[in-house]
């Protein structure tokens, strides 16, 4: 397996951006996401659907999103609230079921003054492959369709589709409704996300210097730096080298 693209992240006290580069040595690239509503947050990278192309995972103050690494589309979103200090989303398999989960921390206080939009403005809707993927039982052109909130998952609202969304009818889009303080774990409703390791041992996590039992192998080599905060399929650790 080979991939000529890599994901670049830039972070500061008041902004975050992620871009896709055509090669590790090419500084030009397409912006996947940029926000001025963040502090020193970070992002994670993981190939959720095991197609050889990594997705970018980032949580700002109001939503946690998974971005398609090819075009920046928000393919997953969940409402939450964070004052965005130094955190980022952890991707691991904490229950050991062979499918990755996202571990998300949220602040114990949140703003209720309308600071966060009620509906995620860039989330196109809950994606689907078949009717069985949708609460409503209706999948059209890759999105779950709905006529009211009861036909959407609990943390989503039935709303108008974004301009350019294929198909017809309203879709289930992520809503920001209240706060859930503490740690939450998100998974695919049918556990179809790729397998991952059961360990993510530190803030500067990378796959090459920690064993599954927590044993530290050594310091980061120069060539390993692309793997910092990048999740990896558990089988890939055993069978193939890490490729960005």
Q: pLDDT, tens digit, for every residue of 120-131?
A: 999 999 999 999
Type and span of the H or E element at 145: strand 143-146
Whole-number Cα distances in Å, 69 to 1, 19, 21, 74, 116:
17, 9, 10, 10, 25
Type and span of the H or E element at 90: strand 90-92
Apex CA 69: angle with CA 66 and CA 71, to 5°? 100
pLDDT over 70 at 2, yes or no: no
Q: pLDDT, tens digit, for every residue of 146-202?
A: 999 999 999 999 999 999 999 999 999 999 877 788 899 999 988 999 999 999 888
Is 193 in contact with 8 (CB distance < 8 Å)? Answer: no
How much is the pLDDT for 10? 47
């Amino acid at each position: 397996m080979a991939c000529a693209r890599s994901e670049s992240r830039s972070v500061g006290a008041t902004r975050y951006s992620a871009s896709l580069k055509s090669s590790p040595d090419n500084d030009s690239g397409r912006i996947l996401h940029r926000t001025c509503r963040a502090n020193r947050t970070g992002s994670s990278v993981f190939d959720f659907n095991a197609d050889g192309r990594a997705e970018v995972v980032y949580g700002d103050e109001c939503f946690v999103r998974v971005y398609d690494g090819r075009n920046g589309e928000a393919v997953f979103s969940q409402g939450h609230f964070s004052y965005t200090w130094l955190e980022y989303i952890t991707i691991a398999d904490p229950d050991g079921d062979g499918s990755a989960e996202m571990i998300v921390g949220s602040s114990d206080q949140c703003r209720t003054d309308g600071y966060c939009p009620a509906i995620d403005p860039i989330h196109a809707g809950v994606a689907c492959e078949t009717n069985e993927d949708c609460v409503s039982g209706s999948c059209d052109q890759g999105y779950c369709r709905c006529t009211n909130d009861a036909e959407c998952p609990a943390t989503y609202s039935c709303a108008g589709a974004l301009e350019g969304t294929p198909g017809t009818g309203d879709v289930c889009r992520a809503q920001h409704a209240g706060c859930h303080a503490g740690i939450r774990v998100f998974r695919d409703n049918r556990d179809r996300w790729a397998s991952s390791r059961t360990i993510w041992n530190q803030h500067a996590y990378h796959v090459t210097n920690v064993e599954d039992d927590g044993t530290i192998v050594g310091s980061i080599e120069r060539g390993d730096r692309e793997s910092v905060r990048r999740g990896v399929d558990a089988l890939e650790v055993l069978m193939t080298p890490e490729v960005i």
